Structure 1
C-alpha cells in the first residue's frame, strides 16, 4: 500500500508537469510545420540564409563531435571565469559592506570600472595577458565580478542592525557575526548577482571566443558564418541557447535548495 501511495504521488506530480507544458508540446509541431513551409517549401525565408529544420537536424547528427568539443571548451572557459568572478565579487562585496574603511578605498574603483562593458577592454586585455585564453578568463570574471560585488554589498548593508545587537548580547564573536549572520542574510541578494553575472558572462564568452580563443561555441559560430554554413550556425546557436538556459536553471535549483526557507521567489 505504501508503494502504491508513493507511486501515485510521483505520477501525479509528473502528470501535473506534463499538463502544465501541454500547450507548448502541442504548439511545437505547428511551429516546425510553419518553419518548414516558410523555408524548404515556399522559400519565403530564402535558403541557405534561413535553414530548414531538416538541415539543422542533419548538422546536429553529422557534426556533433565538433559541436561537443566546442561546447566543452566553452564550458571550461565559462566555468573558470565565473568561478573567479563570483568568488572575488563575493569577497569584495562582503568586505565593502562590513568595513567602512575598505569601502572607502574600493567603492570609487567599483564605481569607475564596474559599469564599463567588459568587451570594451578586450583589446587591452589581449595586449596585457600572455595568451588569449587568460584574457578571456579575465573578461568573463570581470563581467561576473561587478554584479556579484554590488548585490553582495547591498545584501550585507540591508541587514537589520538589531540582528547584530542580539547576537553580540549573546556573546557572538566577529567571525560568528560574519559567517552566521551577515552571509546567510545576504545570500538572496548574492544569487540575484549571480544570475545577472551569469547572463553577462554569456555575451562576453561568445565575443572572446570569436576574437581571441581558437575553440568554443563562439569560434564555431564565426567559422560557420565565414564559410556561409548557415545550418551549422543555427545549430551552434541552438546549442548555445540550451547551454545558457541549462546553466541558469541549475543556478535556480541551487538557490532553491540552499534558500529553502525563502518562499515566493522568482522561478525560472
Structure 2
C-alpha cells in the first residue's frame, strides 16, 4: 500500500498540473514543470526503496513539496492573487532550466570550482595547523584565544578589504570563504586534540611510535570521524559564503546568476536560481553522506 502511494501522487500531480495550467493549451509549455514533478517522485521512490523504514516521513515530505507547488500554481495562474512579476507561475520558472541550461551549468561549474578550492584549502590548513598547535600546550595557550576571537566574526565583513587587497574578485571571494571555514576548523581541531584521552597517546608512545606515525596512525584516525561529521555544517556555511561573495561583483557563478537577473527584476530567473542552489546543496550533502558511510563504517 505504501509503495503504491508514489504512483498515485504522480498521477494526481500530473493531472492537477494540466488542469491548473489554464493559460496555455500546449502540453509542451509545461513540460519542465511536469518533469520536475516526475523527478520528485523518482527521488522519492529511490529513497523508500533504499530506506523503507523512512517511508512515512518521506511520504509526508514529498506530499508537502507537491502541495506547495500546487498552491503556487493555483495562486499564480487560476486565482491570480499573486503578483505575476514577484511570483511567476511555476511552469515558467521551471522552463528557465531548459532556456538557460548552458548559463546555469556554467554557473554551477564556476561555483563548485571556487568552492572546492576554497573549502579544501581551509580544511587542510585548519587540520594541519590545528594538529600542530593542539599537541603543544604552549602554542595552544597562545593561538586558542585568538581563534576564539576570530572564529565568531562573520567573514563577509572582510569583503571590502579583500576586494581592495586581492588582485581579482575571484581570489577575494576565495579568501572570504577560506577565512570563514579556517578559523572554526582550526579551533575545533585544537579542542579535539586537547580533549584526546591521554591513555591513547601514552599507549602509542609505549609502542615506540615516531611523531610521524603518531600523527598518521593515531591522531588523524581519532579525529577523522569528527571531521567528517562536521563537513555537513562546513559545506552549508561554505555555500552560504560562496553565494554571498558571488553576489558582490562576480562575473559567473550561482550567486552572480541570481544577482544579475534581480537587477533587471527578472524574478522568474531569480526563483529558478534559488531552486538550483537548493538542488546543488542537497546533492552535495547526499554525496557527502554517501562518502561518510563508506569512509566511517564503524559509525553504522
TM class, shorter-length: 0.7 to 0.9
Q: Output the CA distance in 1 between the equivalents of 2:71 and 2:159.
A: 41
- Alignment-derived partner of residue 137 in structure 1: 174
- Number of residue equivalences: 253
Of 132, 138, 144, 1:107 maps to: 144
Would you say the 8 A contact 2:111–2:253 is kept in 1? yes
TM-score by length of 2: 0.78
Please give the residue correspondences for 1:111-260 in structure 2 after superposition, counting only pairs within 5 Å. Answer: 111-260=148-297
Corresponding position of 1:53? 90
1:69-108 equivalence runs, <5 A: 69-108=106-145
What corresponds to 1:16 in structure 2?
Answer: 52
Distance 1:225 1:84, change over 3 A: same
Runs of 5+ consecutive residues of structure 1 not aligned to the other structure: 1-9, 264-268
Residue 82 of structure 1: how far off its partner (Å): 0.5
1:26 CA drift (Å) = 4.4
- Mapped to 2, the partners of 1:151 and 1:253 lie a distance apart of 23
- Aligned-partner Cα distance in 1 for 2:227–2:55: 34
1:151–1:189: 8 Å Cα contact kept in structure 2? no
| RMSD after superposition | 2.2
What is the TM-score when the length of structure 1 is the normalising length? Answer: 0.86
Question: SS of the residue aligned with 1:261?
Answer: helix
Gapped runs of 5+ residues in structure 2?
1-45
Q: For 1:83 and 1:16, how far apart are their aligned partners in 2? A: 35
Structure 1 CA distance for aligned equivalents of residues 51 and 285 of structure 2: 24
Task: Quote the Cα distance in structure 2 between the aligned partners of 1:192 and 1:147.
Answer: 14
Q: How many angstroms does 1:253 deviate by?
A: 2.0
Query: Does the 8 Å CA contact 1:74/1:217 hold for their aligned counterparts?
Result: yes
3-state DSSP of counterpart to 1:50: coil
